[in-house]
Amino acid sequence: MTRYVYDFDEPSDGGRDLLGGKGIGLAEMTQLGIPVPAGFTITTDACRAYLASGGEVEGLDEEVAEHIERLEKHTGKRFGDSEDPLLISVRSGAAVSMPGMMDSILNVGLNDDSVAGLTRSTGNEDFARDCYRRLIQMFGETVDEIPHESFSVDDTVDRARAIYERETGRGFPQDAREQLRRAITAVFDSWNSSRAQFYRRTYDIPDDLGTAVNVVQMVFGNKGEGSATGVAFTRDPSTGEQGVYGEYLVNAQGEDVVAGVRTPLPLAELRDRLPEAYDQLIETMAALERHYRDMQDIEFTVEEGKLYLLQTRTAKRTAAAAIKCAVDMTAEGLIERDEAVARIDPSQLDQLLHPRLDERAEFEVAAHGLNASPGAASGKIVLDADAAEERGKGEPVILVRWETSPDDFPGMKQSAGVLTAHGGLTSHAAVVARGMGKPCVAGCEDLDIDTGARTVRIGSHHLREGDVITIDGGTGRVIVGEVPVVPPAINEDFETILEWADDLRRLKVRANADTPDEAAKAREFGAQGIGLCRTEHMFRQEDRLPVVREMILARDEAGRREALDRIAPFQQADFEGIFEAMAGLPVTIRLLDPPLNEFLPEEKDATDERMRRRIRQLHEDNPMLGTRGCRLGIQWPEIYEMQVRAIARAAKAVQERGGEAPLVEIMHPLVGFREELRRLRELTERLMEEEAPELEYLCGTMIELPRAALRAGEIAEVADFFSFGTNDLTQTALGMSRDDAEGKFLTFYLEDGVLERNPFEVLDQDGVGELMRIAVERGRETKPEIKLGICGEHGGEPTSVEFCHRIGLDYVSCSPYRVPLARLAAAQAVLHEANRAEYVQAGG
């Protein structure tokens, strides 16, 4: 028979997957000799069996009863005793950290009789009644689903019990074993609560893991002034600075600190209040960090001067902190460079590339709160999470709350930032915002909210819902109105990690950039060239559009050429700017791609009948599959001729000015047939020969159509390079319109679980990836030296970058801001391949 329960001091083989993060942390701490309350873990196997059977788990009750007996022996107290009862907490703990998403219940085992016993055995009636009131409320909310608002922290035991009876129609259960059984079931059930499901979808956590349940002897931080409870980090989770960092509350129980109902005190103050416990805590934290070789996030309780650790886990941290820790820990000899690179989550790096307030702008700070999560954002005030979820889709909003709870998660996700009046740096709002990389200011005491009147007061300002504010989560400042922001830069530690990543990676990283400014930014972030310069943006600029329209509306080729002659100098100037910004590095320029009707006015705006006719003539029912890409260049070669000439002239001009010839790569879009590229190559070669016979360049194609991927062998005969345009290749391989799918059926597919990931964001490796693999193989067979890259959006998505590494591409190309992320992901691909990226995480 499967065994479902393990004491903390018993070895088990299942590790984190079986015991959950909290359970494995408690077991390891117990085995390391760290002061941890006694208890046991009910495994994730039990939870899965419970969820699968719809309630029954054979043998579980008996096993729990046995372990309760052992706990009674160990503590010398009896569970359900009316004089000196053993009290326990029942805590969730999945293998993957899901902060606040599932339930915990404290003080299980108290009833009307034993509360009097607890008073007598502790001599502290306030304490005993406080414990019982908490049990009734937590049990009521979690087990019987009584709404949180029905209770208040000011309730007495009698009042809490009366509310319980009113809401459930039953008295509060007096039997300790019934309390325990129902509490365990409630924790199992909380795995499938809608907020937990939503969280799992957001972070791609599988639904079938289940949670473990930890049954832990209660220790009390609420036994008076000599008791306390808190959370602490072995380094600062916002900045990564060395030195312990945390918060605590005197005379309180664990949930008070994280729930953000009372604003906690900085941990350093505990030294004066409870010096011995403080010193022991600091020592223990250092030992834990050495043991796990990573930053730890711990929960502790001091009961009448005695320290207990209730949890340790690898600390969630901002990207800046992750980088600083990795670099510092390498210097401290705790980890190697490879591990430092492996530890940074590339998708988190976006945070570092977040905007900050422009300090040169004039603004007045209306209030200060805690700097809970970095970044700056402006938006309209919204006072509840549902409204934030709705309005946040259309415009930036700042969710303003007393505090947030796990139910607010979807609203927080849609907000540009979060501002709370209560709560500390470890409050729900702070932790969740940091995880999402959104700015958050918490514990802003000078904030008052009137949810009835839909108004807020920030400092001396009285505002309504819908008014604009700005928050700076890096410093805790709150400002009325909008403040300009500046883009971020890469600091020294970040640079160090990226250099280590560069030493490891094989893939080159280029950027998609259409303007000299973007090209310069890309270079600053370490791009090794431009993988895609889309020329249509140059056509759309305001001063050029009228000429482009004239070109399209022209009666004949002569008319088109006349208009194109006027566009040519603009094009040349654009290319010169880009070549200069990327001197010494390759630049891939893609010739005009979108359907011409995209440049046309609407029929109703036509000025005459001829124009109206021409607009109608150019109309296509499905322009994405119509006259676009190289089909344009083949039908109206004069357009591409002008572009190739402009490229050649720009390259020559830049070479004459700077001495160095740009590395030009001319790319033809949407090729499906060899003959298309053969003709375009001929055109390209003829014009390059005419304009710049000395210039070396490459001529290649995008692979954006399934046919092109399948016939890559013959296309390679006339191509120097392939660049996978996975935006179009996804669209054409899946038959899903990239403009229409997202927000329509694709959203439904993702919500309903038909698809796990949005294929326009994360490469569909099985389908689109297979086509790429075929193209690589067939292309290289014809031409082993053919250069291969990717320039669709997937080129900046970590798992897709890893795939590109595996199939042997030469480079990935992505937007400038994602270049650092791609550099790191490319290095991690090497580490994964060599199996060098694993490291053991602590806790959950």
514 binds Mg ion (CB under 5 A): no
Closest distance to ligand PEP from the beta carbon of 755 (Å): 19
Q: Give me 274's structure tokens.
A: 């409870």
514 binds ligand PEP (CB under 6 A): no
| Catalytic pick among 131, 440, 630, 791 | 791
| Catalytic pick among 422, 428, 794, 805 | 428
List the single partner that 532 binds among Mg ion, ligand PEP, none, CB under 5 to 8 Å by kind: ligand PEP
Closest distance to Mg ion from the beta carbon of 763 (Å): 15
Return d(Cα 374, Cα 485) in angstroms, integer: 13
Instruction: Indicate the residue among 222 and 813 with the shorter CB distance to ligand PEP.
Output: 813
Of 534, 668, 674, 818, the one binding ligand PEP (CB under 6 A) is 534
The one-letter amino acid at 645: R
Secondary structure element (H or E) that encloses residue 789, with its range? strand 787-790
Looking from the CA of 531 toward its CB, the CA atoms found within 13 Å total 33
Place of tokens 């060239």: 529
Residue nearest to Mg ion (CB): 728
Instruction: Indicate the residue among 289 and 593 with the shorter CB distance to ligand PEP.
Output: 593
Instruction: Indicate the residue among 576 and 704 with the shorter CB distance to Mg ion.
Output: 704
Q: Can you give the C-alpha Rg of the chain in angstroms?
A: 32
800 binds ligand PEP (CB under 6 A): no
Q: Cβ distance 578 to 533 under 8 Å?
A: yes
Q: Report residue 468: phi and psi, to 5°.
A: -95, 135
Closest distance to ligand PEP from the beta carbon of 812 (Å): 12
| Short-list 718, 695, 667, CA closest to 535 | 667
Pairing of strands 376-382, 468-472: antiparallel
791 binds ligand PEP (CB under 6 A): yes
Q: Give me 309's structure tokens.
A: 């650790």
Closest distance to ligand PEP from the beta carbon of 93 (Å): 43
- Interacting stretch for Mg ion, rule CB under 5 A, among 233-241, 417-425, 440-448, 698-706? 698-706
173 binds Mg ion (CB under 5 A): no
Instruction: Indicate the residue among 214 and 726 with the shorter CB distance to Mg ion.
Output: 726
Return d(Cα 813, Cα 530) in angstroms, integer: 7
Secondary structure element (H or E) that encloses residue 371, with its range? strand 370-373
Of 80, 374, 662, 725, the one binding ligand PEP (CB under 6 A) is 725
Instruction: Indicate the residue among 256 and 593 with the shorter CB distance to ligand PEP.
Output: 593
- What sign has the CA pseudo-torsion 614, 617, 623, 625? negative
Closest distance to ligand PEP from the beta carbon of 703 (Å): 9
Q: Cβ distance 568 to 645 under 8 Å?
A: yes
793 binds Mg ion (CB under 5 A): no
Distance of CA 710 to the CA centre of its chain: 35
List the single partner that 514 binds among ligand PEP, Mg ion, none, CB under 5 to 8 Å by kind: none
Secondary structure element (H or E) that encloses residue 6, with its range? strand 5-7
List the single partner that 726 binds among Mg ion, ligand PEP, none, CB under 5 to 8 Å by kind: ligand PEP
Closest distance to ligand PEP from the beta carbon of 792 (Å): 3
Active site residue 794: no
Is 246 exposed, middle or buried, given 0-12, 13-18 or 19+ CB atoms closer than 10 A?
A: buried
- Interacting stretch for ligand PEP, rule CB under 6 A, among 41-49, 132-140, 488-496, 724-732? 724-732
Q: How far apart are the first and last CA of the chain?
A: 28
Return d(Cα 316, Cα 748) in angstroms, integer: 31
Q: Give me 300's structure tokens.
A: 């502790």
532 binds ligand PEP (CB under 6 A): yes
Three-state secondary structure string covering 556-592: CHHHHHHHHHHHHHHHHHHHHHHHHHCCCCEEEEECC
List the single partner that 63 binds among Mg ion, ligand PEP, none, CB under 5 to 8 Å by kind: none
| Short-list 813, 322, 820, 324, CA closest to 524 | 820
Instruction: Indicate the residue among 403 and 704 with the shorter CB distance to ligand PEP.
Output: 704
Size of the site for Mg ion (CB under 5 A): 3
List the single partner that 475 binds among Mg ion, ligand PEP, none, CB under 5 to 8 Å by kind: none
Return d(Cα 823, Cα 230) in angstroms, integer: 39
Q: Cβ distance 107 to 131 under 8 Å?
A: yes
Closest distance to Mg ion from the beta carbon of 543 (Å): 26
Closest distance to ligand PEP from the beta carbon of 570 (Å): 20
Closest distance to ligand PEP from the beta carbon of 702 (Å): 7
Helix 157-168 and helix 125-142, axial crossing angle in degrees, nearest 10: 20
- Interacting stretch for ligand PEP, rule CB under 6 A, among 222-230, 677-685, 721-729, 797-805? 721-729
Closest distance to Mg ion from the beta carbon of 590 (Å): 8
Size of the site for ligand PEP (CB under 6 A): 10
Instruction: Indicate the residue among 236 and 704 with the shorter CB distance to ligand PEP.
Output: 704
Instruction: Indicate the residue among 180 and 807 with the shorter CB distance to ligand PEP.
Output: 807
Return d(Cα 631, Cα 611) in angstroms, integer: 23
726 binds ligand PEP (CB under 6 A): yes
Return d(Cα 488, Cα 477) in angstroms, integer: 18
Instruction: Indicate the residue among 339 and 704 with the shorter CB distance to ligand PEP.
Output: 704
426 binds ligand PEP (CB under 6 A): no
Q: What is the dihedral of CA 604, 609, 614, 620, to 10 degrees?
A: 40
Place of tokens 């899946």: 734
Return d(Cα 689, Cα 153) in angstroms, integer: 82
Closest distance to ligand PEP from the beta carbon of 593 (Å): 6
Helices marked H in 608-673: 609-618, 630-635, 637-658
- Interacting stretch for ligand PEP, rule CB under 6 A, among 143-151, 178-186, 306-314, 723-731? 723-731
704 binds ligand PEP (CB under 6 A): yes
593 binds ligand PEP (CB under 6 A): yes
Instruction: Indicate the residue among 421 and 771 with the shorter CB distance to ligand PEP.
Output: 771
List the single partner that 791 binds among ligand PEP, Mg ion, none, CB under 5 to 8 Å by kind: ligand PEP
Of 247, 641, 728, 764, the one binding Mg ion (CB under 5 A) is 728
Of 725, 779, 816, 844, the one binding Mg ion (CB under 5 A) is 725
Q: Cβ distance 834 to 802 under 8 Å?
A: no
Return d(Cα 766, Cα 728) in angstroms, integer: 16
- Interacting stretch for ligand PEP, rule CB under 6 A, among 7-15, 44-52, 95-103, 725-733? 725-733
Residue 801 burial (CB count, 10 A): 31
Closest distance to ligand PEP from the beta carbon of 54 (Å): 47
Instruction: Indicate the residue among 611 and 624 with the shorter CB distance to ligand PEP.
Output: 624
- Interacting stretch for ligand PEP, rule CB under 6 A, among 74-82, 155-163, 196-204, 719-727? 719-727
The one-letter amino acid at 46: A
Cα-based distances in Å from 271 to 275, 283, 287, 467, 489 = 5, 13, 19, 43, 38
Closest distance to Mg ion from the beta carbon of 629 (Å): 7
Active site residue 630: no
Instruction: Indicate the residue among 349 and 791 with the shorter CB distance to Mg ion.
Output: 791
Instruction: Indicate the residue among 357 and 791 with the shorter CB distance to ligand PEP.
Output: 791
Is 58 exposed, middle or buried, given 0-12, 13-18 or 19+ CB atoms closer than 10 A?
A: exposed
Return d(Cα 530, Cα 574) in angstroms, integer: 14
Place of tokens 């020329």: 535
List residues near Mg ion by CB under 5 A: 704, 725, 728
List residues near ligand PEP by CB under 6 A: 532, 534, 593, 704, 725-728, 791-792
Residues with active-site annotation: 428, 791
